[in-house]
Amino acid sequence: MTICFATNNEYKLIEVRHALAPDFNVLSLQEINCQEELPETGHTLEANAYQKANHVFEHYAMPCFADDTGLEVAALNNEPGVYSARYAGPQRNNQQNIDLLLANLKDKQNRSARFRTVICWRTEQGSWYFEGIVKGTIIEERRGKGGFGYDAVFVPEGFNQTFAEMSLEEKNQLSHRAQAVKKLVAFLKESLR
């Protein structure tokens, strides 16, 4: 089955294609020739995921899913949350986002955090939501070369490595996006019966 994942983020595509193979042919925005900027003006992860999936469905007539992910840090009142990608500004620079996060946590004892992903699946039958959460800790300096976003400063509960130090296979066993994708996959397989 051919579906669209409303992203051009190469890292997300790799993770999701890995999780959905071989049952689904996942196309990116670029592959369906979607050049426009997708709307992302919601104040919740759910609203942003819906806006993106709905835009593709309505303009490209293709079943689509979109995700929105936020890093929620307890000591910062769950910031950056829905603004994680643009925490340090509209330029969406991962390094600047991490710098700002570490600066804001400098004098905080509680460094607990969680990654939360919400996926919206949109078809002509309607829309459905799937959530994944991973709890962990923000460390004081970057470690690892893999991953993206805040992966280099996030250590999941029960582990000593950051997401950026893990292989894609290791991260996919427990990541927030992988959890949400697994729920989506289970739903899709059930709906194809």
The pairing of beta strand 126-138 with beta strand 154-156: antiparallel
Query: What's the burial of 20, exposed, middle or buried (CB within 10 Å: 0-12/13-18/19+)?
Result: buried
| Sign of the torsion angle spanned by Cα atoms 146, 151, 154, 155 | negative
Q: How far apart are CA 25 and CA 167, in angstroms?
A: 23
Q: Which one of the listed residues 68, 99, 107, 151 is annotated catalytic?
A: 68
List the one residue out of 138, 39, 126, 57 whose CA is nearest residue 98.
138
Give yes or no: 68 in active site.
yes
DSSP assigned state of 167: -
List active site positions. Answer: 68
